Amino acid sequence: MLDVCLLGTGGTMPLPGRWLTSLVLRCNGRSLLIDAGEGTQIAARAAGWSFKNLDTICLTHLHADHTAGLPGLLLTMGNMERTEPVTLVGPRGTARLLEAVKVIAPELAFPVWPIELAEGEEQTIPLGDWELTAFPVRHTVPCLGYRVEVPRRGKFDPQRALAAGIPKPLWKRLQQGECVDGYTPDQVLGPPRPGIRMVYATDTRPVKPLYRAARGADLLICEGMYGEQDKLSKAKETCHMTFREAARIARESGAKELWLTHFSPSLSRPEDFLGEAAAVFPGAKLGVPGRTVTLRFPE
């Protein structure tokens, strides 16, 4: 299963009750953070989440409303006596950003390993229990969306194990994906079963890579900078989206659920415009700080 918590939903600047963009995911006790806008630590504490087991931080792009919370977050993790490394994934310039962070956080007790992803192509990074795929989106600077998938192995077949003469004490390890004493998991497992897919994209226009990434997603968390449809020209000018555009992506990609996020400071009451999205994708939800869901494997 995959736990998902939307920490911040604001774009550009924080507002009372609306922290800047951030999302945290948890699988098998390990955590991954996407974006670290100002107020991320406060939002996490309010939602009851800890960064103690945070392994990976992903940045969609390097604008301040997605990165300004990073120095304080790393310092807090250091104060928790962390020694394990953290991987920092992002677009071109991420390593330079990390060097700037070290100016005010120079003595971290753990290493931070930056991974800069190439522009204009989809790239997958295996992260143990989950797969992280970055895909290009269109903003005013290099920007990425992220798809996080939790794969699911095939069902264990005891009859195949018996037919292959595999000793029973080895079954559990093979079932868990290990190769043991010359035996391999494919000897006892059926074909892979459907896993879990979550997609996150902010600061973009509707683009083909986003439609592809969101295909069949269990949850699409997508930017809706503007609720008002008369702001469409503004959205195009600034490389953002309206509620209706985000809802169209969810509908046409076959996503099961949509959360809108990354609201403009001018959008003081997003709930007044939820109908704009619901008219296109019924059941669309507004992101609110602390909104949480546990995504489970289909039966």
Structural contact between residues 69 and 77, judged by C-beta atoms closer than 8 angstroms: no
DSSP 212-258: HHTTT-SEEEEE--B--GGGHHHHHHHT--BHHHHHHHHHHHT-S-E
Beta bridge partners of 86: 112
- Measured distance CA(217)–CA(199) in Å, rounded: 7
Residue 284 has pLDDT above 90, yes or no: yes
End-to-end CA distance of the chain: 12
Quote the pLDDT of residue 169.
Answer: 85
Structural contact between residues 1 and 219, judged by C-beta atoms closer than 8 angstroms: no
Structural contact between residues 200 and 145, judged by C-beta atoms closer than 8 angstroms: yes
Query: Of 65, 157, 181, 186, which residue is the catalytic one?
Result: 65
**Amino acid identity, position 102:** K
Quote the pLDDT of residue 189.
Answer: 87
**pLDDT tens for residues 63-116?**
999 999 999 999 999 998 899 999 999 999 999 999 999 999 998 889 999 999
Nearest to 21 by CA among 264, 296, 209: 264
> How confident is residue 177, by pLDDT bands cut at 50, 70 and 90?
confident
Quote the pLDDT of residue 182.
Answer: 86
Which one has a higher pLDDT value, 38 or 193? Answer: 38
Confirm whether 55 is a catalytic residue.
Answer: no
The rounded percent of the chain whose pLDDT value lies above 70 is: 100
